[in-house]
């Protein structure tokens, strides 16, 4: 039975919580982790009348409790905030004159940039804490370990005596951490992890980043705009191989023209500190090379935070990569125990995916059921311009023999993009050749993360490209590029000359 809370929400220090009697279950739900997946799940559980406790061990720079997980504190939100500052600085140096505006003696205080970022993070974390209070979610600042399907051990941050608390349901939402690279051991002085890379207080003159994936590119976009000579070392021979090849080629061209040095097929074999520099040795098709830089960032991906999350005797099933094994409903092999967000391989490691899973699991527990459509989850890279996509790529569809049509519209033909001075990029729509159903939308453009929302809604309702083409869009607006790409599928764009065929390969 769903029980309504009978008292005000509480914020506990872990050492105030004592072991309850073995069969007492004061909570309906315990959520471990207060990142996007965890806090969304806890809030939705409470909205549905479930007495809910969220346990989180996150701390800010001052050692204080800080909700939001790595996504807020050392991930996308922190990165995106710094990039906005970097874009303003870069514009003042490279392009403001085009507007007839002239500025002299422009300087940047990296410390103030970091302070602004920290202030925003603290405010957003406090917002989550307030939402917990407003939604009657109790919370404890501590580490937590799953003991069995009904019990969680609370481990105080200060090392004092642990205690046990029980619930009918337990939701694991502990997130993920950066993968370490043995040949480049992080010291966070010269060889940095992602968190340290978002807290530098000086601009490196020369910067190398291991990994040219999503995180590596986002970090490169920040520091290159602030003046660092930035080199990305990517072990893969192809660039952004998860994206549509047309988009990845366009991104490679744009980022190279911006000054990013992209070295593909570069496998790092060692990184050594010396004389306040880092010497990076790597191999590629041409042989061995050495690169000397001021700072080196390791950004090769993330791993699930399952270490020390679960007691061995709990017998929770993990896969060979230490992800929690779940079914299509986020259920683990333990009855009443769920895992969501970055802990599982069900869908990509994205904050919005975790949020939706958190809501989905909460509603399952409350007897509601609205499954997640993992095929319609948007992917976003917060670079400048942004990259966003949903659905299938051209190469995937062709590999399975799907008969498709393609419509492409470049941003340099969009009126609003010209007014903004943001003409780099394109919109690409892929539709089924017979029934015109939209199969994939791929965007590299300013505000691509917002533009992709229209495509997701259209695909969620099984819209055709003709539906998009006949939807009135504001003029002038960036969203018109989506409209024109839909028109391009029928070779009737209004702001481009006609082409011979809309079925051409990219």
Q: Active-site residues: which are they?
A: 475
- As a whole number of angstroms, the distance between CA 204 and CA 185 comes to 19
Mutual orientation of helices 480-488 and 448-460 as an angle, nearest 10°? Answer: 50
- As a whole number of angstroms, the distance between CA 45 and CA 28 comes to 9
343: closest CA among 129, 171, 156, 181? 171
Q: Are 43 and 49 in contact (CB under 8 A)?
A: no
- As a whole number of angstroms, the distance between CA 329 and CA 355 comes to 14
Specify the DSSP class assigned to residue 338. E
Q: Which own/partner pairs from 312-315 qualify as long-range (CB within 8 Å, at least 24 positions apart)? A: 313/147, 313/148, 314/146, 314/147, 314/148, 314/149
* 263-to-208, 260, 282, 291 alpha-carbon distances in Å: 11, 10, 10, 12
Phi-psi region of 211 (alpha: psi -120 to 50; beta: other; left: phi over 0): left
Q: Are 281 and 210 in contact (CB under 8 A)?
A: no
- As a whole number of angstroms, the distance between CA 385 and CA 447 comes to 7
- As a whole number of angstroms, the distance between CA 374 and CA 344 comes to 13
* 97-to-93, 102, 188, 420 alpha-carbon distances in Å: 9, 6, 38, 14
Residue with tokens 């996509």: 389
Q: Are 181 and 45 in contact (CB under 8 A)?
A: no
List phi, psi (to 5°) of 129.
-60, -40
Strand order in the sheet with 277-284: 267-274, 277-284, 287-293
Q: Are 218 and 297 in contact (CB under 8 A)?
A: no
- As a whole number of angstroms, the distance between CA 339 and CA 305 comes to 11
């Amino acid at each position: 039975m769903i029980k309504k809370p009978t008292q005000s929400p509480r914020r506990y220090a872990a050492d105030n919580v004592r072991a309850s009697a073995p069969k007492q279950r004061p909570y309906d739900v315990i959520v471990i982790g207060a990142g996007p997946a965890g806090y969304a799940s806890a809030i939705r559980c409470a909205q549905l009348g479930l007495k809910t406790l969220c346990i989180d061990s996150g701390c800010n720079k001052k050692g204080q409790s800080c909700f939001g997980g790595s996504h807020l504190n050392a991930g996308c939100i922190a990165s995106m905030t710094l990039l906005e500052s970097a874009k303003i600085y870069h514009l003042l140096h490279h392009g403001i004159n085009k507007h007839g505006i002239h500025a002299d003696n422009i300087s940047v205080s990296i410390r103030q940039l970091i302070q602004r970022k920290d202030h925003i993070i603290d405010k957003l974390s406090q917002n989550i804490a307030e939402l917990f209070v407003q939604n009657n979610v109790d919370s404890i600042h501590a580490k937590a370990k799953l003991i069995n399907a009904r019990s969680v051990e609370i481990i105080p941050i200060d090392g004092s005596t642990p205690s046990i608390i029980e619930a009918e349901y337990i939701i694991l939402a502990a997130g993920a951490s950066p993968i370490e690279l043995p040949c480049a051991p992080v010291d966070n002085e010269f060889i940095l992890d992602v968190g340290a890379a978002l807290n530098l207080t000086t601009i490196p003159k020369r910067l190398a980043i291991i990994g040219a994936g999503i995180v590596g590119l986002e970090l490169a976009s920040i520091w290159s705009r602030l003046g660092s000579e930035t080199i990305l070392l990517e072990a893969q021979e192809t660039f952004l191989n998860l994206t549509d090849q047309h988009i990845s080629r366009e991104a490679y061209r744009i980022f190279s023209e911006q000054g990013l040095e992209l070295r593909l097929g570069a496998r790092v074999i060692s990184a050594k500190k010396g004389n306040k520099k880092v010497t990076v040795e790597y191999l590629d098709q041409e042989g061995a090379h050495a690169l000397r830089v001021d700072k080196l960032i390791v950004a090769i991906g993330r791993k699930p935070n399952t270490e020390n999350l679960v007691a061995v005797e709990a017998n929770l099933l993990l896969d060979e990569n230490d992800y929690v094994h779940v079914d299509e409903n986020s259920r683990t092999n333990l009855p009443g125990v769920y895992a969501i967000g970055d802990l599982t391989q069900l869908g990509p490691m994205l904050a919005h995916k975790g949020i939706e899973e958190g809501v989905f699991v909460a509603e399952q527990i409350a007897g509601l059921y609205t499954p997640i459509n993992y095929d319609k989850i948007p992917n976003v890279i917060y670079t400048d311009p942004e990259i966003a996509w949903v659905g299938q790529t051209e190469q995937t569809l062709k590999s399975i023999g799907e008969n498709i049509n393609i419509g492409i519209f470049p941003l340099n033909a969009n009126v609003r993009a010209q007014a903004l001075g943001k003409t780099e990029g394109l919109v690409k729509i892929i539709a089924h050749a017979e029934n015109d159903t939209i199969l994939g939308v791929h965007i590299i453009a300013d505000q691509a993360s917002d533009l992709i929302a229209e495509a997701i809604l259209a695909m969620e309702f099984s819209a055709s490209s003709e539906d998009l083409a006949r939807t009135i869009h504001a003029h002038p607006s960036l969203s018109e590029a989506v409209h024109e790409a839909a028109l391009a599928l029928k070779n009737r764009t209004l702001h481009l000359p006609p082409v011979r065929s809309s079925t051409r390969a990219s």
